[in-house]
Structure 1
Amino acid sequence: MNTIIIIPALNPDEKLISYVKSLIQAGEKQILIIDDGSSDDCRFIFDFLEEKEECIVLRHAINMGKGRALKDAFNYCLTNLSQTASGVITVDSDGQHSVEDVLRMKEALTEYTDSLILGARNFSQENVPPKSAFGNKMTRVVIRLLYGGNIADTQTGLRAMSYQVLPAFLTLFGERFEYETGMLIEALQKKIPIKEIEIKTIYYAENKGTHFRPVSDSWKIYKLIFGTFFKYAFSSFSSSIIDLGSFQLFSYLLKGTNLSVQVWMATILARIISSLYNYCVNRNIVFKQDCKGNNTFLKYYILCVCQMCTSAALVYLFVRVIGLPRLFIKVIVDMLLFFVSFRIQKNGCSEEINDVVYKNTHSTCCIYGVHSVA
C-alpha cells in the first residue's frame, strides 16, 4: 500500500534535506512538505526539495500554524492524490522521528486501516526534557479522566491514518498544536480505534528547536480539552441554582401542609423545572445534539430518576455505614455521579442508541440536589 509522507515545516534547517533524502532512499515516493510561512532564509531548502520528483511543496504566505498545515495537507491528499495512495503518515520536520519508525508506521497502516495510529515515545527515558514529560503525562491523565482514552503519547507528531479515517479530521477546530489534541478527542468520541506503536524517543538539544509556545499553546490545548466539560459544569451549576431556588419557593407556597408532603412536593416540582432547563441546555448548547427520537424526552426522565435514586441509595448506605453527616456524603456522591454522567454522555456519542439517549442524560446530579431528602 502506498502512503504519503506529510511534513509540516516552519523555518527548518538543512537537516530536513538530509531527512527527506533518507526517506526517498528508503523507498518513499510521495512526500508532501508544507512550508508554513518560513522566512526567506529557508526558501532554498524548500526550493531544493521541490525539485525532487518524489516531493510536493505547499506554501503558506504567512505562518498559519501546524494545525492549519496538516488540514491543508489532508485536503490536498484527498482531492489530488486519492488515486495514487490510500493513507498518510504525518512526520515532524525536526528529526525526532527516525526513518525506521516511519516505515514501521507504514506497516502498521496495512493492518489497522480503520484506526488512528500513533507513534508513542517512552517518556520515562533520561533524555526526555522534564517539561515535555510533565506536559504529556498531565494531558494523558486529563484526557483519560474526561474522555476515557488511555493514550501513552498525546503529543506525538508521528501519526498514520488511511483515507477511510482521514475525512473525520478535516473540519476540526484548531490552527496550531491544539489541533493534534483535537484529533485524539475526535477519535475517542467517534469511536475511531487508536493504536499505538512504540517508537524511538529522540530529542535534540533539550527540544530547543520546537515551535511550541508553552503558555499560549498549552492554554489552547487545555481550553479545547475542557471546553465541553466547562459548559457541562456550568449547566449543572446553573441547574442546581434553579433547583434550590424553586425548592425554597415551593416550600414557602406549601407552608402549613404536612412536613413530609411539603418536602417531597417541593422537591419534585423543583426538579421538574430545573431538569427541563438542564435538558434544553445540554442538548442545544453543551453537546449540540440534534435528537431525532420521539421518545428521547421520556428516556431522559427515566435516566434522571435513575440517577436520583442512585444518589439517594448511595447516600443512605454511606450514612448508615460510615456515620458521617448526610450533606457531606451527598456532596461527595453527587460529585462522583457528575463525572460518571459526563463520561457516559461523551463516550456514547457514536452509537445510535447513545445518540438518542445518553447525550441528553440529566447531568445535574453533581452540586445539584444537595438539598434532596436522602
Structure 2
Amino acid sequence: MSVVLIPAYEPDERLVALVRELRGMPVVVVDDGSGPAYRSVFAAVAASGALVLAHDRNRGKGAALRTGFAHIARSMPDSCVVTADADGQHTPADIARVAARIAPSRIVLGVRAFTGRVPTRSRIGNGVSRIAFRLASGRTVADTQTGLRGVAADALGWLQSVRGDRFEYEFRVLLQAGAAGFDLVEQPIATIYTDNNASSHFRPVRDSLRVYAPVVRFAASALSAFVIDTLALLVLHAMTGSLLFSVVAARVLSSTVNFAVNRRLVFHRGRDVALRAAAMRYFSLALLLLAANYGTISALSELGLPLLAAKVITEATLFLVSYGVQRAVVFAPASGPAPPRAADPAAVHAGPAVGPGHR
C-alpha cells in the first residue's frame, strides 16, 4: 500500500481538489501551522477522507515531512510513501506513476521536463540547483527541486534522521541518499505551474542559502585554504626560488587548516570518523592532489603563464575532485543510516485514521 503524504502551509482549494481526486489511496496531510484562517480548508480536506496532522506553528516543509514520515512509520510500518505538493503541481496520474515504481532501497523522483510556460525563477532555480547537486555529489538529477517522490517503508527511519526543517531538507535527502544506500530513480511527470507559481512559499535568498549550504561551506573552506596556500606559495617562492619546496610547504600548511575546518564545520558526519582514519584518508588525498597540483602548475608555467595565473587555473580544476572524494570517502562514516530523530510533535487535527480501508 502507498500512502500519499502532503505537507501544506496556507493552502487553497487546490489541496481539497487533489485529495478528492486521490480515490483509493490513503492520504495524510500535515498542516504546518497555517493558522485559524485556514481551518475551513483543512476541514474540507478531512471531510474528503484525509487524515490531517497539525503543527502548532510553522516549522517548515522538512519538519512537516518528518512528522508525516514518523506517523506513517508508527501507524503503517509496512507502507510505501509518495510525497506530493499542495499547490496542484502534481496530478493523481503522476502520483500513481511514481507509486508504481517504488521498491526497497530506492527513491523515486517525479522529474519535470520544464517545457512550455515555466516561471523564470523556477527555471533558473532548478538549473542552479542541478549544477550545485552535480558539484556536490558528482551525480546528475534532472529535477532536484521536485516535491513528488516515492519511498519504500525501509527508508522511513532514515528520512527522519536527515537534518533540515525547511526547503533544504529535500536537497539534503538527495545528497545523502547514496551514502545511506538508496538509489535515485527518475520518473517523468507533467510540468504544471499555475498563476506563475505565486502560491510557492520558497524564499529565494534565505531558502537558497539553506539549500546550497553544504556547497557554500565547502567553497568557503576551500577559498580560505586557497588564500593561505597562495600567500604561502608566493612568499616562499620569493624567499627560496624553489618551486617544488614552495608548493610542498604551502600545501602542508593550507591542508592542515583545511582538514580541521572540513572535519568540524563542512562535513558534519566527518566528526563520526575517527581522527586518525580521517587524517590518513585526507592526507593521502592531499598527496595525490599535490602531485597533480605541482605537475599542472609546472606544465602551465612552461607554457608561459604567470605563476599566479597557473595557480588559479590549477586549483579551479582540482576543486571538484577534492570535494567529491572528501564527501564520499574521507569524511564518510561506516555505511548504514543514522538512527531516526525524534519526530516533530504533531496532533491529529481532523479526519479519520488512515488504514487499509481508508477511502
Q: The TM-score by the shorter chain falls in which range?
A: 0.7 to 0.9
Q: CA deviation at 1:325?
A: 2.9
Matched residue, 2:309:
328
* Partner Cα distance (1:169, 1:159) in 2: 12
Residues 24-63 of structure 1 aligned to structure 2 (within 5 Å): 24=23, 27-28=24-25, 30-51=26-47, 54-63=49-58
Instruction: Report the equivalent of 2:267.
Output: 287
- 1:1-12 correspondence to structure 2 within 5 Å: 2-12=1-11
Deviations 1:315-358 (A, max 9, x none): 233343x33334422321122113321122123365859xxxxx
Q: What displacement does 1:70 show?
A: 0.9
3-state SS of 2:118 partner = coil
Q: Does residue 1:118 correspond to 2:109, yes or no?
A: yes
**Cα distance between partner residues in 1 of 2:162 and 2:278:** 28
Q: Are 1:139 and 2:129 counterparts?
A: yes
Name the amino acid aligned to 2:198. Answer: K
CA 1:98/1:146 → structure 2, altered by over 3 Å: closer, same or farther?
same
- Post-superposition shift, 1:310? 1.5
Aligned pairs (5 A) from 1:149-160: 149-160=139-150
Looking at structure 1, the residues matched to 233 and 216 of structure 2 have their Cα atoms a distance apart, in angstroms, of 26
* Cα separation, 2, equivalents of 1:329 and 1:94: 50
Partners in 2 of 1:154 and 1:314 — Cα distance?
A: 34
1:226 aligns with 2:226: no
Distance 2:218 2:96 in 1: 38
CA distance in 2, matches of 1:247, 1:319: 17
CA–CA distance in structure 1, aligned partners of residues 144 and 310 of structure 2: 35
1:6–1:90 contact (8 Å) kept in structure 2: yes
Separation in structure 2 between the aligned mates of residue 263 and residue 16 of structure 1, nearest angstrom: 65
Relative distance call for 1:22 and 1:333 in structure 2 (3 A) is same
Q: Displacement, 1:114?
A: 1.0
Deviation of 1:294 after TM superposition, in Å, equals 5.3
Q: Aligned equivalents of 1:50 and 1:298: distance in 2?
A: 56
Give the SS at the match of 1:137. Answer: helix
Deviation (angstroms), 1:88:
0.6
State how far apart, in whole Å, the 2-side matches of 1:227 and 1:169 are: 23
CA-to-aligned-CA distance 1:76-132 (integer Å, 9 cap, x gap): 1112221xx4211111111111111111111011xx321221111111x22212221
1:341 aligns with 2:322: yes
Q: Aligned partner of 2:83: which letter?
A: T
Residue pairs, 1:257-276, within 5 angstroms: 271-276=251-256
Contact 1:189 1:346 in 2 (8 A): no
Offset, 1:228: 3.2
Q: Which amino acid aligns with 1:279?
A: F
The residue type equivalent to 1:205 in the other structure is: D
Give 1:236's aligned amino acid.
A
Q: CA, structure 1 residues 108+266, in 2 after alignment: closer, same or farther (shift >3 Å)?
A: closer
Distance in 2 separating the partners of 1:318 and 1:14: 62
Q: 1:263/1:160 Cα in 2 relative to 1: closer, same or farther (>3 Å)?
A: closer
The aligned runs of 1:308-327 (5 Å cut-off) are 308-320=290-302, 322-327=303-308
Of structures 1 and 2, the one scoring higher in RCO (CA 8 A, sep 6+) is 2
- Which runs of no fewer than 5 residues in structure 1 stay unpaired? 252-258, 354-374
Residue of structure 1 in register with 2:95 after alignment: 102
Bigger Rg, structure 1 or 2 = 1
Instruction: Give the whole-Å Cα distance in 2 for the aligned partners of 1:108 and 1:186.
Output: 21
Amino acid in structure 2 at the alignment position of 1:70? L
| Superposition TM-score, scaled by structure 1 size | 0.78
Is the Cα–Cα contact under 8 Å of residues 7 and 29 in structure 2 kept in the other structure? yes
Are the counterparts in 2 of residues 89 and 105 from structure 1 also a CA contact under 8 Å? yes
The gaps in structure 2 that reach 5 residues or longer are: 336-359
CA distance in structure 2 between the partners assigned to 1:295 and 1:134 by the alignment: 40
RMSD (CA atoms):
3.0
Distance verdict in 2 for CA 1:81–1:132, change over 3 Å: same
The change in CA–CA distance for 1:64 and 1:306 in structure 2 (over 3 A counts) is closer
Q: Deviations over 1:240-265 (max 9, x none)?
A: 2784598489x5xxxxxxx67x8766
* SS in structure 1 at match of 2:199: coil
For normalisation by structure 2, the TM-score amounts to 0.81
Q: Which deviations, in whole Å up to 9, do the C-alpha atoms of 1:43-67 show, x marking residues without a partner?
A: 1232243345x52110122222222
- Equivalent-residue separation in structure 2 for 1:71 and 1:187 (angstroms): 16
In 1, Cα distance between equivalents of 2:39 and 2:150: 28
CA shift, 1:150, in A, is 0.8
Alignment partner of 1:77 out of 39, 53, 72:
72
8 Å Cα contact 2:3/2:80 also seen in 1: yes
Within-5 A mapping of 1:114-263: 114-123=105-114, 125-190=115-180, 192-222=182-212, 224-237=213-226, 239-240=228-229, 243-244=232-233, 247=236
Contact 2:225 2:255 (C-alpha < 8 Å) held by counterparts: no
CA distance in 2, matches of 1:297, 1:202: 48
For 2:184 and 2:56, locate their aligned partners in 1 and report how far apart those are by CA, in whole Å. Answer: 34
Size of the aligned set, in residue pairs, is: 332
